[in-house]
Structure 1
């Protein structure tokens, strides 16, 4: 009984759509514009043609989104075509376009919501078979692949979770026969990209499968101007990887851009030079279409990149080419010789120096010479090579007044400094625009080894910069005890010398920055005057108190010559007042413990330290002074008794 009911339902569905089916067949010769739905015969209306009194505009679906090879001019109401697909599924028949009888796509993205249920129902009756296409392409199963491709509803461009279509998978795995079969399909997208932006041609190029590349290039639909994710074209990829056979094949293609640039402005020839691909460079140089006078976005020429890469064979190829200009600069002003120096390639530098066009002392717009670059970047072998040239000017300076020796000291290049100091006419005490010497720069870089080498060579430690800061003052400010001791060992240092701008001494610099070891070293000298004041009228003790350096204050107040109650010449503040004003509890506690501390002194506003404590309102400091006063009162009471 149930079978009869089901058969009756099927007959009923077929009967209901029988008339509409044959009516739609009569519409084979459609006009250019379809203005009504072929199922419900209602006229399509745009949203601008409907006023508020009319019904809402129905969703319209175009045939190209639903049916394989269908025309976008074929339009239907979404609800009507949903019913049509549903009825075909119930009847066990494949859904086709009511106009052109094209088969329903197996993948239908971006459809109205009302279609989703009907499509799901349809897929239960007719499951998707397109994913099998990917598996057959991956396995190289040509027989089953061919069977699937004969079916009109198969989506030949279906992709996996990584966006790889069947053609990309076949190209990646070198399935030549599969590639050939897929290329015969009229709907195959030969330029389709995966999620990484890679096409079938790019996949074959990256793998170096020249046979597959050759086959793909023979297809007129291939666009070799399409970019990969990093902006390099196919010829650049092949050139970079050194795949000479692929380069040869690409050069035969009429639309290949032999001088095309990537995002950095590099051409295939530049990429081959960067990657030191000698055979590819030789082949590209032989092509008359290749521009050898070209440069990248930063002005880098072929000879510069060859020098930077350090490939002697490629450099010789370029040097033997009369079209190459050795005197070109890049955007930073670097020359080919400078590129060889920065690359650290001694053989390249020697080769370039043999050419009369190369100037060993040439300076770029910031005044740097090849020797300065070698010293700054730590290219020792290149530095030796340059110093051996009789035309070298070792004491040249850049626009900031830095010599090669200064740059090496500034960058802690120990071996380079040692080599430069061997040069007989090296300028040891040359000063830059800020008055800094090589020794002062070495102290600033805190390189004990470089300082030692300079002192052994006879560098003058008493030369100050334009602010009057000597190497010893700088060492004290930085707290480098090793450098400070070396300077004391080699030179007679005036411990009370003051900087001509701020009037600070070495002790003041150390106290201000809280360098306890340096303070202890300086206070051990009997000639030190700890009560000197700077331009602002602050002594070493005031500077330590202001900055909250408890240990430094402790070292200072133990010195016999220190004046613990010295008042500031402008404000009348004592060190204790400064500590309280800045909220330094530990410093205040250290000062209060000194037996000579005087809490009755007043500043120039007439306030004592107790008044200042009350004004600041710091509870911890208030408690400290209350305790101090109690102890003092107790001691006074005991003395009276």
Structure 2
């Protein structure tokens, strides 16, 4: 009966159908109903169902359905109802690869190929991300899409093609003259950074080749060429080096990139860089010698980089090819610095001179000994050509360097060597015994305590016949050295061995004087308990109390006054009292000294007028001075034991005290005793 109804009545029946799927079923009853109701169904879908037919057809690639929907008035920019992605019709076939549907839709007037509510990717971006190069070309040919349109993350079609390795789409996009290669995404990264981060050589090469990338373009802190070297892509490096700008910057590239290449495993890049440098040299007349210097410098840096990071392959290549020339010591020291035992053994096997020295005369054995690298020390000692007694420019041997750093294991290794020289002295006359005693032990500085290791070394040295009273060029014994800043355990050990702490150097100073100068409170307390001389003076009239005070150590000054308040009444150091010298340093030191004095019960101090001394000291003050910083040691005045600041002017005698004699400008101006011989020439030293 339904089939016999007139068309107008059938359309009225269709209008009364509530649900679209029921209407669709009615339409498919027979050819007659389909012919009559099909257009009505599409018009109703466009009007009441948000053009869902067009969206479905676009996604499934049904071009006829899509065409009918458009003819029925479907919205070309419709969105799927309730879809959080908010994807318009054009994006659906672009993502799925339905080129015929894309061509149909892109030709419709009024289509918006870029706007995506909610920041979803555009149709061009979907096509590029999924590698549909032909669709990308169609969209670009329509001139209706912005090639640099970005999504909510700031990513463009070019970025998505790069990140997904879509080479075909990438090439099509790069052929577009309007494309912006350097537009950053929301994180500030450009397309080239995305390519490099993926380490996809094919993508990177395509970008560089078709995008005509400048090899010196800087992205953050690296150039494109640096990034290619860093990622070990020799083909990309070769492409970049073909750029004329790369050849014009061959010098800078070599110095920066060759060490970077030496850290990697791709030696072809290393060869490419050297060849590029040679090609550049062939085009320069006046700068050829300069380029040779650059080459040597770059190879030295590369050798150091390869050896220190343990790149055995690179080290072997450089040594075997002979390009390292006279850089043997660089390779050895770099291997030691990086603790690269395998590299060191390779170098020895290849015949590198294990006794090679750097510009300071330091050998790899001395360097490793100072760093406590027992494995490397043993490997070098196993080589028959090794000389364990080579001195550097300061006269220090590997044994001395191990001792001064407190590395007991290394010291033991060196002492077991048959021809080791035990009794050498450095430029200051310090022996190995002195060196051990100078180590702080780390008891008071944090870290692992080495006190017992130091004592073990001293026991071994004494057993080998060392004299604990041996002196340096100033007559200082190991006890003097330990008092300056060494380990208190070592100081106690030496005091027990010697039975006294009152030994004097060539200037009449005991260890207590040096402890006061360097502010070593723990050492000073130990020495104070064992000394037999309270009011000690050196050859220049200095006392421990005044030395501590003049160098700004309020706590140490208080220690002396507590033991004997009479110190406050003494006038030394050019006839000045303690309050004058305290005022010369700082107001805080004056207050500390006054508080110390007020706690004493001596009537002599109560009646003591210190104001004139304080006023004169403040008048002579040149800026407030803090107690000496051990990390910025600039020496000290041999006459008054004043510790110099780094910028302070001083006078130097190259002959007295083994060349260590220094005098402050104040002692010089006040006509104090010069040095051992007044005929000596004092030179100004900044």
Same-fold call, TM > 0.5? Answer: yes
Aligned match of 1:462: 469
- The Cα shift of 1:465 comes to 3.5
In structure 2, C-alpha distance between the alignment counterparts of 1:319 and 1:580, rounded to whole Å: 64
In structure 1, C-alpha distance between the alignment counterparts of 2:359 and 2:299, rounded to whole Å: 15
Aligned match of 1:484: 491
1:291–1:472 CA distance, 2 compared to 1 (3 A): same
In structure 2, C-alpha distance between the alignment counterparts of 1:236 and 1:614, rounded to whole Å: 69
In structure 2, C-alpha distance between the alignment counterparts of 1:537 and 1:429, rounded to whole Å: 34
Which of these residues, 509, 513, 516, is aligned with residue 508 of structure 1? 513
Q: TM-score, normalised by structure 2?
A: 0.56
What do residues 400-451 of structure 1 show as CA deviations (whole Å, max 9, x unaligned)?
2222223233444443333223323333442221223333334333123453
Alignment pair present for 1:350 and 2:345: yes
More moved, 264-273 vs 476-485:
264-273
What do residues 183-227 of structure 1 show as CA deviations (whole Å, max 9, x unaligned)?
3434335x54637997645643442334434544663x5236353
- The Cα shift of 1:359 comes to 1.8
Alignment pair present for 1:152 and 2:143: yes
Partner of 2:390, secondary structure, is: coil
Aligned match of 2:409: 415
1:445–1:133 CA distance, 2 compared to 1 (3 A): farther
- The Cα shift of 1:573 comes to 5.9
Aligned match of 2:262: 273
1:479–1:213 CA distance, 2 compared to 1 (3 A): closer
CA contact (8 A) 1:312 1:348 kept: yes
CA contact (8 A) 1:284 1:290 kept: no
Alignment pair present for 1:209 and 2:200: yes
Q: TM-score, normalised by structure 1?
A: 0.59
Aligned match of 1:381: 375
Q: Greater helix share, 1 or 2?
A: 2
CA contact (8 A) 2:125 2:160 kept: no
Paired residues, number: 470
More moved, 192-201 vs 465-474:
192-201
- The Cα shift of 1:342 comes to 2.7
In structure 1, C-alpha distance between the alignment counterparts of 2:506 and 2:473, rounded to whole Å: 9
What do residues 590-624 of structure 1 show as CA deviations (whole Å, max 9, x unaligned)?
55666665359xxxxxxxx5433477589xxxxxx
1:590–1:419 CA distance, 2 compared to 1 (3 A): same
Aligned match of 1:402: 396
Partner of 1:364, secondary structure, is: coil
Alignment pair present for 1:568 and 2:571: yes
What do residues 91-114 of structure 1 show as CA deviations (whole Å, max 9, x unaligned)?
xxxxxxxxxxxxxxxxxxxxxxxx
Alignment pair present for 1:452 and 2:455: yes
Aligned match of 1:132: 122
More moved, 586-595 vs 398-407:
586-595
Partner of 1:611, secondary structure, is: coil
Alignment pair present for 1:308 and 2:270: no
- The Cα shift of 1:386 comes to 0.8
Partner of 1:409, secondary structure, is: helix
Partner of 1:454, secondary structure, is: helix
CA contact (8 A) 2:580 2:614 kept: no
Which of these residues, 381, 390, 398, is aligned with residue 384 of structure 2? 390
Which of these residues, 446, 459, 473, is aligned with residue 480 of structure 2? 473
1:312–1:593 CA distance, 2 compared to 1 (3 A): closer
In structure 2, C-alpha distance between the alignment counterparts of 1:231 and 1:536, rounded to whole Å: 59
CA contact (8 A) 2:403 2:435 kept: yes
What do residues 559-591 of structure 1 show as CA deviations (whole Å, max 9, x unaligned)?
7xx965864356666668877998645555655
CA contact (8 A) 2:537 2:543 kept: yes
Task: Report matched runs for 1:78-227 at 5 Å.
Answer: 129=115, 132=122, 135-136=125-126, 139-140=129-130, 142=132, 145=136, 148-152=139-143, 154-158=145-149, 165-189=156-180, 191-192=181-182, 194=184, 200=191, 203-213=194-204, 215-216=206-207, 219=210, 222-223=212-213, 225-227=215-217
CA contact (8 A) 1:198 1:228 kept: no
Aligned match of 1:370: 364
In structure 2, C-alpha distance between the alignment counterparts of 1:572 and 1:301, rounded to whole Å: 58
Partner of 2:425, secondary structure, is: coil
- The Cα shift of 1:301 comes to 6.2
Give the alignment's Cα RMSD to 1 decimal: 4.7
Aligned match of 1:523: 528
CA contact (8 A) 2:196 2:204 kept: yes
In structure 2, C-alpha distance between the alignment counterparts of 1:326 and 1:127, rounded to whole Å: 60
Aligned match of 1:29: none
CA contact (8 A) 1:134 1:169 kept: no
What do residues 344-396 of structure 1 show as CA deviations (whole Å, max 9, x unaligned)?
2223222222344x222122222111212222333321111111122222121
In structure 1, C-alpha distance between the alignment counterparts of 2:486 and 2:142, rounded to whole Å: 83
Aligned match of 1:425: 419
CA contact (8 A) 1:508 1:540 kept: yes
Task: Report matched runs for 1:512-591 at 5 Å.
Answer: 512=517, 515-525=520-530, 528-543=532-547, 547=552, 549=554, 553=558, 558=563, 567-568=570-571, 584=590, 587-588=593-594, 590=596
Task: Report matched runs for 1:287-302 at 5 Å.
Answer: 289=275, 295=295, 298-300=298-300
1:575–1:241 CA distance, 2 compared to 1 (3 A): closer
More moved, 515-524 vs 346-355:
515-524
1:138–1:555 CA distance, 2 compared to 1 (3 A): farther
In structure 1, C-alpha distance between the alignment counterparts of 2:375 and 2:558, rounded to whole Å: 50
In structure 1, C-alpha distance between the alignment counterparts of 2:342 and 2:598, rounded to whole Å: 70
- The Cα shift of 1:295 comes to 4.1
In structure 2, C-alpha distance between the alignment counterparts of 1:578 and 1:259, rounded to whole Å: 64
In structure 2, C-alpha distance between the alignment counterparts of 1:592 and 1:254, rounded to whole Å: 82
In structure 2, C-alpha distance between the alignment counterparts of 1:254 and 1:580, rounded to whole Å: 69
Partner of 2:536, secondary structure, is: coil
Task: Report matched runs for 1:44-55 at 5 Å.
Answer: none
What do residues 9-50 of structure 1 show as CA deviations (whole Å, max 9, x unaligned)?
xxxxxxxxxxxxxxxxxxxxxxxxxxxxxxxxxxxxxxxxxx
1:166–1:450 CA distance, 2 compared to 1 (3 A): same
Unaligned runs of 5+ in 2: 1-109, 279-291, 442-450, 617-686
CA contact (8 A) 1:265 1:296 kept: no
In structure 1, C-alpha distance between the alignment counterparts of 2:524 and 2:601, rounded to whole Å: 22
